[in-house]
Amino acid sequence: MSTMLKMLVEEKIVAIFRNIENQHADQAGQALIDGGIRLMEVTMNTEGATEIIHRWREKFDGKAAIGAGTVLDLAMAEEAVAAGAQFLISPNLDEEVIAYGVRHGVSVWPGVMTPTEIVRAWKAGAEAVKIFPMATLGVKYLAEVRAPLNNIPMMATGGVDLDNIRDYFAAGACSVGMGSKLVNLDWVRRGDFHLLTERASKFVEAVKSV
C-alpha cells in the first residue's frame, strides 16, 4: 500500500478546493488543517491551481498531502505533477493518466461509476477509485457495487454531509471527497475562517468513530 493510499484510508476525508481565489487559498487551507484535515485537492479548473498546489506543498509540508483534482487527461496530469501534486483525482477514467501516475510514483484515484469502469481502472493500476456522482447514485448503489468488488478501495464523492457521512462508510467507502460542505466559499470570502475550522473538526470527529 502506497503512503498516499494509507493516508487516504486512515484520514478518510479529502477536502476539495474548487474555484478558491488565490488570495484566500492559504488561509482557507490552513483553516482546514487546523480542523484536522490532512488531504486537500485543488481542482485543475480553478484559476491558478498549479500555483496554489506548488505553494501549498512548501507551506503545508508535513501537515497535509496536496493533490490535484479534475485531472481530465495526460497533459493536466503532467502539469499537476510538475507543480508538486502528490495525488491525482478525476471525475473520469483515463488510463493514460493512471499509467503516468504509476510511472512517476504518484497515486491516481480516477472517477468511475459502473462495475466495468471500476474494474478497468483497477486493472490499469489505480490503487483506489472515486465513485462519482454519489449524490445521484446514493449509498445503496455503493453497497451494491462493493459486494462483488470489495477488494477495490472506493472513495465516495458527492452528497456527503454530517447527517449521512457514517452511512457512506457503512456502505463500504474507504474515504469521502467533500467540496462545498467543507470549503464554504461564502465563509472564505467573508473571512470567517474559524467557521471552516469548526466545520472541518466536526467531520473529522464524525469519521473517527467509523
As a whole number of angstroms, the distance between CA 51 and CA 40 comes to 15
One-letter amino acid at 94 equals D
Q: Which of 67, 75, 114, 107 is nearest to 92 (CA)?
A: 114
As a whole number of angstroms, the distance between CA 199 and CA 81 comes to 30
Q: What is the dihedral of CA 33, 209, 139, 195, to 10 degrees?
A: -30
Cell numbers for 60, please give them.
Answer: 503545508
As a whole number of angstroms, the distance between CA 41 and CA 111 comes to 14
47 is catalytic: no
78 is catalytic: no
Catalytic, out of 21, 130, 198, 205: 130
Q: Which residue has the cell 445503496?
A: 140
As a whole number of angstroms, the distance between CA 27 and CA 177 comes to 20
Catalytic, out of 41, 63, 117, 144: 41
Active site residues: 41, 130
